[in-house]
């Protein structure tokens, strides 16, 4: 894959978004008979076949209208009807003075991670089992915050895949997960484990660390073999790692092309962690579906993203709340350099009309605070409606899931309710009082 491939990619026509089903995303089922230990996380069983959710208001995210006296009829985990009379014999969940919305989606989480305690040495002290158990706690916090679907972009081992399966089996409470398995990195890159002595925590393509196009293909295939539903690549250096300058390009164009082509061959999409301009531009030209962070955008990059339909997943709230004094000095220096640039790039991207899908990088700050991302989007130029759409319509489009993101007959009955009206005050999104997943109430009355 040399100059011929590169030139072919550079001449690719603009990407036309296509609907593909996300691998392995299925409905959350009711928790089985596991006794009192799981009573606190078991979805509330509803007596009848039909459930009606009523609310004083509902936000139609497509039209942008607030619908009053909302009625949503749910049958067998899906929305059967919106509006009309309440069917006889139905279980009625009357929420009163709230705004009903589609279940929210976060396209950039790390449920099995956090930066609490001695997180720097965790890779040589813990296993994927530790990460999965940590993820069980974080999954519940995320779900209760109103996020019924997440894309988990890189974990320890295949802990995110294990967590996804546990949620689907009803063993723990959590959102629907599109897992990445291991993130893909060059040797010594952002998604490799660096800073330890030779021979300690060494990695391979099975761990997502690969060099050269065929090494990348091997790494992609291994992630898919073991349950990945999305491929995450690290196009550039990053912040919370000990390798070189934060914006430096790491994967080559040929390596990124190999990742995209192999992933698409299996029906998967590719998310690219990218901070620096050169790496962002090469990732967009390689055909990735989203740029994560996008800290140093240029007019050329934004034009290319708009032409190809590439999403920006901006992870903005962390730039305001990351505890800089607690970071190791080399990492703190990178954060202090890049985070102000990230804020300004997002403002410019919104003004330029780049497509934005909601993403938080939850783990860098506490899980469950995901909804605080909304207010930052509005502060930096988005309308409240577009901010909500970024976590519903736009996220569904990016993730390739057509069965959610709207309150419409036939779609999954993933619903949330918030106090107040988010079009008047976007911070209402931080006060989720009701969550339903697949017709099962996991928070609030019902």
Query: Between β-strands 432-437 and 440-443, what pairing exists: parallel, antiparallel or unpaired?
Result: antiparallel
CB 181 within 8 Å of CB 223: yes
Output the six-digit token pair for 115. 């930066």
Report the alpha-carbon angle 417-421-425, nearest 5. Answer: 120
Residue 440's nearest CA partner among 35, 40, 27, 46 is 46
DSSP 375-403: HHHHHTT--HHHHHHHTTHHHHHHHT-TT
Q: Is 443 a catalytic residue?
A: no
361: annotated active-site residue: yes
Cα three-residue angle 283-286-292, rounded to 5 degrees: 30
102, 415 in Cβ contact below 8 A?
yes
| Sheet arrangement for strand 311-313 | 231-234, 270-274, 290-293, 311-313
| Dihedral of the alpha carbons of 145, 151, 153, 155, in degrees to the nearest 10 | 70
- Strand segments, DSSP code E, in 161-276 are 176-179, 231-234, 270-274
152, 207, 361, 414: which is the annotated catalytic residue?
A: 361
30 DSSP 8-state letter? P
Output the six-digit token pair for 398. Answer: 């990016």
* Rg of the chain, C-alpha, whole Å: 21
* Residue 78 structure tokens: 């899906």
Which token pair is 411?
């779609």
Helices then strands, counting H and E runs in the chain, come out as 12, 15
Sequence-ordered list of residues with C-beta below 8 angstroms from that of 199, at least 6 positions apart, any chain: none
3-state SS class at 315 = coil
* Residue among 56, 106, 152, 232 flagged as catalytic: 232
Task: Give, as one character, the DSSP assignment of residue 100.
Answer: E
Mind giving me the DSSP string for 354-366? --B-----BTSS-
DSSP state of 236: B
| Residues with a known catalytic role | 232, 361
């Amino acid at each position: 894959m040399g100059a011929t491939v590169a030139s072919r990619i550079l001449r690719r026509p603009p990407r036309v978004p296509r609907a593909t089903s996300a691998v392995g995303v299925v409905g959350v089922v009711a928790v089985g008979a596991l006794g009192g230990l799981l009573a606190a996380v078991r979805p509330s069983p509803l007596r009848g076949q039909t459930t009606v959710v009523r609310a004083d208001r509902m936000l139609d995210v497509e039209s942008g209208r607030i619908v009053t006296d909302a009625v949503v009829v749910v049958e067998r985990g899906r929305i059967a009807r919106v509006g009309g009379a309440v069917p006889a014999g139905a279980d009625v969940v009357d929420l009163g003075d709230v705004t009903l919305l589609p279940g929210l989606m976060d396209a950039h989480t790390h449920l099995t991670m956090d930066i609490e305690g001695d997180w720097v040495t965790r890779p040589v002290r813990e296993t994927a089992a530790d990460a999965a158990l940590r993820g069980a706690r974080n999954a519940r916090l995320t779900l209760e915050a109103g996020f019924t679907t997440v894309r988990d972009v890189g974990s320890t081992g295949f802990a995110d895949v294990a967590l996804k399966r546990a949620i689907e089996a009803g063993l723990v409470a959590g959102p629907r997960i599109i897992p990445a398995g291991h993130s893909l990195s060059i040797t010594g890159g952002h998604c490799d484990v660096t800073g330890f002595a030779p021979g300690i925590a060494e990695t391979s393509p099975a761990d997502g660390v690969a060099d050269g196009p065929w090494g990348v293909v091997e790494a992609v295939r291994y992630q898919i073999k073991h349950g990945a539903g999305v491929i995450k690549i690290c196009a550039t250096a990053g912040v919370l790692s000990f390798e070189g300058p934060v914006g430096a390009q790491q994967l080559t164009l040929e390596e990124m092309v190999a990742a995209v082509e192999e992933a698409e061959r299996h029906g998967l999409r590719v998310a690219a962690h990218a901070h620096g301009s050169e790496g962002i531009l090469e990732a967009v030209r390689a055909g990735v579906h989203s740029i994560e962070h996008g800290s140093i955008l240029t007019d050329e990059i934004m034009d290319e993203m708009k032409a190809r339909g590439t999403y920006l997943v901006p992870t903005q709230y962390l730039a305001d709340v990351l505890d800089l004094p607690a970071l190791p000095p080399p990492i703190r220096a990178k954060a202090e350099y890049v985070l102000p640039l990230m804020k300004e790039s997002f403002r410019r991207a919104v003004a330029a009309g780049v497509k934005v899908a909601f993403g938080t990088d939850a783990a860098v700050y506490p899980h469950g605070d995901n909804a605080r991302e909304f207010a930052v989007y509005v502060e930096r130029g988005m309308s409240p409606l577009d901010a909500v759409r970024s976590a519903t319509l736009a996220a569904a489009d990016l993730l390739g899931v057509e069965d959610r993101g709207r309150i419409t007959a036939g779609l999954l009955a993933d619903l949330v309710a918030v106090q107040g009206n988010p079009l008047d005050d976007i911070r209402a999104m931080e006060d989720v009082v009701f969550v339903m997943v697949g017709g099962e109430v996991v928070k609030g009355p019902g």
